Amino acid sequence: MARRLDYSARYPLHTTEELYAALQSRDYWEARVAEMRKYSPHNEVISHEVSDSGIDVVLAHTLPREMLPEIAQTVMRKDMVITRKESWGPFAHDETEGTFSASIPAGPGSLNGTIRLFPTETGATMRFSPTAKVFIPMVGPRLEQLMLVNLVDLFRAEQEETSRWLAEDAKQLEEDAKKTV
């Protein structure tokens, strides 16, 4: 039986338009991946494509086996290579929706979900709804729960990096505007 949760990343100082503009920027994704290197040393942006139909991003995260929780080490015999994909639809009426997935070669399960970016009275919110499924009897439910707990930690770290990046981007735009006056 798969496990599911909902997580909302709130951005009280930013609009959905600012967040979507960040998602369109390869510099934003590179900054996010650089921040994630604090938690696992090997991360990279594999591809980033922006078109009229939306945004598609592929990231690679490598977690050394010794960094994995003991229960995960019983299943994974070498470093865990995670390919993460995010796809966002076009931005319309101050919101957009997307999907995400994470896959592990020879991994015993799946992780996927939906994302929704929408405005709130105080700014913007990204709501993540992931579903984790592990196909191993007995340990599957424990690994699913572990995946989701770690995913919430990842979402929080990405939210902090996104807020930092948006604040720096706004500061840079302000400085550039002063130079042209």
Q: What is the pLDDT of residues 133-158, one digit of tens each?
A: 988 888 788 878 888 888 898 899 99
User: And the tokens for 10?
Assistant: 């709130």
Distance CA 88, CA 86 (A): 7
Beta bridge partners of residue 102, listed in sequence order: 84, 111
Q: What is the pTM of this model?
A: 0.86
Residue type (1 letter), 77: R
Helix (H) or strand (E) holding 129: strand 123-134
User: And the tokens for 129?
Assistant: 């709804």
Can you give the pLDDT at residue 87? 98
Count other Cβ atoms within 10 Å, centred on residue 27: 11
